[in-house]
Structure formats: C-alpha cells, structure tokens
Amino acid sequence: MVMVSQATKKQQPSKQRAQILAIAAVVLLAAGSVWVFVSSLSSRTANTKSRASLLKGVRDAGNELRGRERLMRRTDRYQIHSSSTNNGEMKISAKQIMTTGRPYLLYGTAWKEENTASLVTQAIHAGFRFIDTACQPKHYNEAGVGKGWTTAASQLGLERSDFFLQTKFTSINGQDPENIPYDKTAPLEEQVKQSLEASLRNLRTDYIDSLVLHSPMETMEDTLRVWKVFESFVTDGKVRQIGISNCYNFRDLRKLYQEATIKPAVVQNRFHDKTKYDVQLREICNLYGIKYQSFWTLTAPSNRRAMANDDWKEMAREKGLTPQTLMYAFMMALGHTPLDGSSDVNHMKEDVKLMMRFQAGEEVVDKKEIKTLSSLLGIRD
C-alpha cells in the first residue's frame, strides 16, 4: 500500500484549482475571439439580422468547410488511382486498385475476333486495367489481347504491373477441333502446360495474373489433375492466382476447395435466373474468400427484363446512371466483379466513371436499394 503525506494531499487540490483556472481562461479567450468575429460580421450586415442568425451563419460556414474537407479527402483517395500519363490521360493502375480492396470491372474480350486488339487498346485508354481472355481460338483472340494491351501501354507510358491479365485453360471439349492450341493427343497435364505457354506468348508477358479453368472437367478426378498443374504454375511464379469458371454446383466448388493446396481465388459464372443467380454458390464464395466474377450480366434475358422495369430505370436516373451501369453498380455493391465487354467507347468511359466512384469510396447503392434490385431480378435468399 502506498502512503501519501498530508503535505501532498494539500498540494493536490491546489493543482486542481490551477488547472481549472487555466481551462477557464482558455474558454474565456476563445469566447472573446468568437464575440469579436461575430461583432465584425454584425457590423457588415443589415441591422435586422439578429446575433442568433449570425451565429447560425458561423455554424453553417463551419459545416461547409467540414464538407469541403471530406470532399478533399475523398478526392485525394481518388487521385491515388488517377494521376496523369505521359500524354495527359488519366492513369489508373490495377496494382493500386487491388490494394484498396474496392470493387472494379473486368474487361471481357470474347467474340471480338479481328477487332480484339483495337478494342482492348480503346478500353485501356478509357480506363480499364483488368482484362479477361482465354486460350480458346473458337471464341477468343488471345494474341489480339496481347497486341492491344502492349500498344496501349506504350502509348500511355504504363507498365506490365499496371495491368491484370486473366486467361483460361479450355479442355478439348470446348475447343474448335480444327484449331486447338495444344497437342490434343498429349496427356492432360501436358495439354495444360502447352496451353499456358501459348497464353504467355500470345499475351506478350512472362506471367499471368489469374489463370482460370474454363469449366470443370468431366470428372472431379480430372479437375483435380488440372488443378495440380495450375498449382505448380503458381509455385514456379508463372501464375499469380488460379480459379474456375462455369462451376454451378456449390458442392463441386466446396470439394475443389477442400482438396486444393492452393485454393481457388475466383469463380467466373453466368449471372442469371436459370442458375437462381448462384445464391448458394456465392455464399460459399463469401465464406471461403473467393472473388465472384459475373458474365452475361447485361445480356441474360432475365436481367434485361429487370433493367426494363420502370422502378429500375427511375433508380438509375436518380443516381446519374443508365439501367446498364446500375446493374454493374448492383454487382459491385455486392462485392462481385462484373465482366464488361462493351465495344462502344462512350459506354466504356461511362463504366469506368462508375468504377472510379466505387474506388473513391462512394456508396453508390445502399443495402436497402440492393434488396429492391434483388427483388426486381427475382433473386431469393
């Protein structure tokens, strides 16, 4: 037990009184400053204005300043991702975007054929940095993607690390029999290796940010055989992350996750009513920390019907969006990554503008609005 002397006890109230007097002096000084400020204002305003209205004006001015400070802080966050390139265009980096943990759009390149290179270049000029393709000549021009991104990078002064390139291994069943990018007679593991080497050449890079199995193999055993090769690519540094597409059975995804040494980072699926909008599968993705990527987001008939609804259109108008960009906003508000395959430059710019609103931290669609849009789509929990 600590003993306190009587002298010390007498000193404590004295110190407290001194502190109280000091605080009172500061308060009086501040009050005097406010009074001087208010008095100066009153001398320059009409005599009919009361002191109360002047004080209200001071409070309003303070609120406005605080609002401007919040806007400046939000603008500062935005500027992290939008410094200028060497020709004055907005600079956006995939690497920086991923550090924010905020939603983004993935530029889809299917069915663009001979226009792939020019469209990828235009998309990058518009602000896209995440690009999806596949080593599947039947539906993708992977070499065109390689030409497109390198052309844009040279024009804008961007580096490889400013981009996120995602491609896929497609099994023989998904290939054009007359144009398979690997030896169809080789063992499955060798087919996967040859496909990756073709992708690296086509995309003009020495690593892939994300490699996706285009669809599950016919058996889980073969799916796991492919996955083991994928894992070796990550170990060797040729691939940064791996995932799976067209996987609509949540039990299959759960099995893959449990068996895999390197877990799936992404699932890319059609988002429409025929699969009940992947409600259960998306729950599994959230549970396991897997990023859900959507395609057919705008083109599925069920989604088009929802976007044609008057309530959907009205919400889009209130937010300064189109029905289509509201659909993207809905998906990003859920934490998902929509594929955006626009071939229209103006639409590309609209979509990137929306993405940057999310990157700036804006709550474009709130929880109540998510429920409303889910109901219009017919999504049931």
Indicate the pLDDT class of residue 381, thresholds 50, 70 and 90.
confident
What's the whole-number average pLDDT of the chain?
84
Cα–Cα–Cα angle for 184, 169, 182, nearest 5°?
25
Higher pLDDT pick, 29 / 332: 332
Residue 89: which pLDDT band, with cuts at 50, 70 and 90?
low
- 195-229 pLDDT, tens digit per residue, is 999 999 999 999 999 999 999 999 999 999 999 99
142 has a pLDDT exceeding 60 = yes
CA distance 106 to 131: 6
Spell out the residues 6+ positions from residue 283 whose beta carbon is closer than 8 angstroms to its own. 250
Contacts with 267 (C-beta within 8 Å, 6 or more apart), sequence order? 243, 244, 245, 247, 253, 281, 285, 290, 291, 292, 293
- The pTM of the full predicted model, rounded to 2 decimals, is 0.78
Residues 268, 243: Cα–Cα separation, whole Å? 8
Bridging pattern class, strands 83-84 and 90-91: antiparallel
CA neighbor of 246 nearest in space, from 268, 222, 272: 268
Give residue 171's identity as a one-letter amino acid code.
Answer: S
